Structure 1
Amino acid sequence: MTNPYTLVSDQKQNLLLEGLNELTKHHIEQCALYRSMIEKSSLPSNSNRLEAVPYLPVQLFKMMDLTSIPKSDVVKTLTSSGTTGQQVSKIYLDKETAAAQSRALVDVMKPLLGSQRLPMIIFDTKSVLKDRRSFSARGAGILGFANFGRHHFYAMFDDMTVDWDGLEDFLLEHRNSKILLFGFTYMVWKHVYQEAKRSGKTLDFGDSILIHGGGWKKLQDEAVDSTTFKSELKRVLGIQKVHNYYGMVEQVGSIFVECKQGHLHTPHFADVIVRDSLSFKPLPYGQQGLIQVQSLLPRSYPGHSLLTEDLGTIHGEDDCPCGWKGKYFTVAGRIPKAELRGCSDTYGFGQGGSNS
């Protein structure tokens, strides 16, 4: 496995641009809907810079089935999280794309977790994994990260209460080992931290590392930021190492992991661009705007260049004090609903800030 945080800007841009252009051509050939959108927008299939690679708004995956493979090649269907009645994204994977995403996830996590599989606590219920061919974003996340663990313990009952007795037994059994903890941000906060605080539970998680992601919007509504999240988990549950990640079901595998400085990092096979939410022009580092994500992984569907509904800021490139190369950034949360409605009317898909 290679360390995905070693390429400097010039090396990475050349690798990404060549790969993204190839994917754009591949999806034009294999996906009629994608081809139609590119042709109607008069966008080129070959770009001379990363900012010019055509992108799709991530909402499109909630509106239509975008796939570049025959139905017979689909081995797994992923769906985004959503409340009852909401439309969800559907992402279709073949063996090649599923395998590439699994390998990429290993590369991204290895600098934090090492090569050894660790005893693992999953702050969720096992019932999320019932259907192995169709996964929610939650199930896909669990299944992906479960590869880094052994002796998996699912800490939640189906009613989302914590199996405190089972948790204590697991921690006792593995008290001399480093333990991997995984969960979704809001669920860890609401169902584990708040319940432990309310009931006065005290647990010793020992030498553990928590990987968590998703669900920040609900925490922001409760005025809980990353610093509060980490300090409270340390104070109440004794969890010393906490790393957030940013990712989405539309680009599973291309996750951006938080370094020890608190920044999210782009690995060598993925990148981020921040755009003005009205003009869609790329913004300089230090300015907040809409996050665009690019990835070399999606071949079974045209998800290699996507404009998200999230706001973020790129803080620099190749010079984070943690030592990892690549762009490093933070995410502020979702764009406000009023702006989002305006955006969905304005941008169909684009290139470098121009929309047809």
Structure 2
Amino acid sequence: MIKTNEIFSIASEEDFNNAALDIFKFQFKNNGVYRSFCDLLYKHPSDIKRIEDIPFLPIQFFKSHKVICSTSTVEEVFSSSGTTGAITSKHFVTDRSIYEQSFRQGFNTFYGNIKDYTILALLPNYLEREGSSLIYMVNDMIKASGQPESGFYLNNLEALKKQLIALDSEGKKIMLIGVSFALLDLVESHQFQLKNTIVMETGGMKGRRKELVRDELQTILKQGFGVSKIHSEYGMTELLSQAYSHGDGLFKCPNWMRVLTRDPEDALTLQKRGKTGGINVIDLSNINSCAFIATQDLGRVYIDHSFEIIGRFDSSDIRGCNLMVL
């Protein structure tokens, strides 16, 4: 069985493919939910010769089943946000150190040493509930930065405005991480001209505002913060890794994560790069849950493995996924 340190030392396409095939065999054997799904597709490890042959588990299974391999004690249960009464996804994590290594090494790959940044976090909807993997990650980043000014802001936009202006004018390197609706609230209350701040949005409106297309959102935020680019993080409860965009709309993955697209009309058929389709993610840090997930996002993947997110499927648009009774 592949060891955790091998996942985070992947350096080539061959390394990734070999690790993915090994993890598939492990999860087929040890993950009852995933094994049942593969059985319904008549997919056996003897049929799987390349990563494109691997079945991708529909992400909805994290709402209806305990998707887990290990019989070890569960150390953390991450849950998705949802409207009152809605069924939320749950990710059972038996080794939180794997998650920590994934997000720490991933951040370092794309942004460098966390100690170089003051982290200001505007994530009100996540702070207001239990079990957010994003809050877990950002809390670790705040501590690791070692900067006394790093911290969370709930609804105190005035305090954040003053802190952001003061730190930016001092020439400090700042990363402002915020959910989209809260960042919009902030620029509606004050117009900034930031010189030393990376603004990173982490997702949509969470029911607080009308959804905007990415270009419209980014234009408003760029004007409001006085910056040339808005960075983005692509992550979710069901993944232990994140992809990042430096402001051009193209996300890049760490070496242990890959994105492919599937045919929107046939969920079991993968597409060539450059075509719009459903986003499938291979996240090898999900070694003790499921590393092969068919999400509800729509996007395109390019030749260099970068990808863009275009939108989401409605639940009525998911075809070919509901092979098991949920």
Using the size of structure 1 for normalisation, the TM-score is 0.77
Is the Cα–Cα contact under 8 Å of residues 100 and 137 in structure 2 kept in the other structure? no
Alignment of 1:304-319 (within 5 A): 304-317=291-304
Is the Cα–Cα contact under 8 Å of residues 10 and 256 in structure 2 kept in the other structure? no
Mark the runs of 5 or more structure 2 residues left unpaired by the alignment.
Answer: none
In structure 2, how many angstroms separate the alpha carbons of the residues matched to 1:250 and 1:313?
20
In structure 1, how many angstroms separate the alpha carbons of the residues matched to 2:198 and 2:263?
36
Is the Cα–Cα contact under 8 Å of residues 56 and 348 in structure 1 kept in the other structure? no
Corresponding residue to 1:231 among 219, 233, 248? 219
Is the Cα–Cα contact under 8 Å of residues 124 and 182 in structure 2 kept in the other structure? no
Determine helix, strand or coil for the equivalent of 2:303: strand
In structure 1, how many angstroms separate the alpha carbons of the residues matched to 2:113 and 2:203?
25
Corresponding residue to 1:287 among 275, 291, 298? 275
Judging changes above 3 Å, is the alpha-carbon distance between structure 1 residues 76 and 263 closer, same or farther for their aligned structure 2 residues? same
Is the Cα–Cα contact under 8 Å of residues 57 and 294 in structure 2 kept in the other structure? yes
Determine helix, strand or coil for the equivalent of 1:177: coil
**How many Å apart are 1:180 and its aligned residue?**
1.2
Query: Could you tell me which residue of structure 2 aligns to residue 44 of structure 1?
Result: 44
**How many Å apart are 1:304 and its aligned residue?**
0.2
**How many Å apart are 1:260 and its aligned residue?**
5.1
Judging changes above 3 Å, is the alpha-carbon distance between structure 1 residues 223 and 261 closer, same or farther for their aligned structure 2 residues? closer
In structure 1, how many angstroms separate the alpha carbons of the residues matched to 2:277 and 2:126?
37
1:212 and 2:208 are equivalent in the alignment: no
**How many Å apart are 1:261 and its aligned residue?**
3.9
**How many Å apart are 1:15 and its aligned residue?**
1.8
User: Which letter does structure 1 place at the counterpart of 2:279?
Assistant: I
Judging changes above 3 Å, is the alpha-carbon distance between structure 1 residues 144 and 185 closer, same or farther for their aligned structure 2 residues? farther
Query: Could you tell me which residue of structure 2 aligns to residue 143 of structure 1?
Result: 139
Query: Could you tell me which residue of structure 2 aligns to residue 333 of structure 1?
Result: 311
Using the size of structure 2 for normalisation, the TM-score is 0.83
In structure 1, how many angstroms separate the alpha carbons of the residues matched to 2:278 and 2:112?
33
1:251 and 2:239 are equivalent in the alignment: yes
Mark the runs of 5 or more structure 1 residues left unpaired by the alignment.
Answer: 318-326, 351-356
Relative to structure 2, which stretch is displaced further, 75-84 or 99-108? 99-108
Judging changes above 3 Å, is the alpha-carbon distance between structure 1 residues 220 and 126 closer, same or farther for their aligned structure 2 residues? closer
In structure 1, how many angstroms separate the alpha carbons of the residues matched to 2:97 and 2:244?
20
**How many Å apart are 1:119 and its aligned residue?**
1.4
1:107 and 2:102 are equivalent in the alignment: no
Judging changes above 3 Å, is the alpha-carbon distance between structure 1 residues 273 and 216 closer, same or farther for their aligned structure 2 residues? farther
User: Which letter does structure 2 place at the counterpart of 1:108?
Assistant: G
1:183 and 2:157 are equivalent in the alignment: no
**How many Å apart are 1:155 and its aligned residue?**
2.6
Deviations 1:33-54 (A, max 9, x none): 3333333432122521111112
Deviations 1:220-241 (A, max 9, x none): 9544423x33332232222444
**How many Å apart are 1:129 and its aligned residue?**
7.7
Query: Could you tell me which residue of structure 2 aligns to residue 119 of structure 1?
Result: 118
In structure 1, how many angstroms separate the alpha carbons of the residues matched to 2:126 and 2:10?
39
User: Which letter does structure 1 place at the counterpart of 2:70?
Assistant: I
**How many Å apart are 1:127 and its aligned residue?**
8.3
Is the Cα–Cα contact under 8 Å of residues 10 and 16 in structure 2 kept in the other structure? no
Deviations 1:106-130 (A, max 9, x none): 2322244221421121113498288
In structure 2, how many angstroms separate the alpha carbons of the residues matched to 1:266 and 1:109?
11
Judging changes above 3 Å, is the alpha-carbon distance between structure 1 residues 103 and 338 closer, same or farther for their aligned structure 2 residues? same
Determine helix, strand or coil for the equivalent of 2:255: coil
In structure 2, how many angstroms separate the alpha carbons of the residues matched to 1:299 and 1:6?
14
Deviations 1:295-325 (A, max 9, x none): 1111221x200101110011322xxxxxxxx
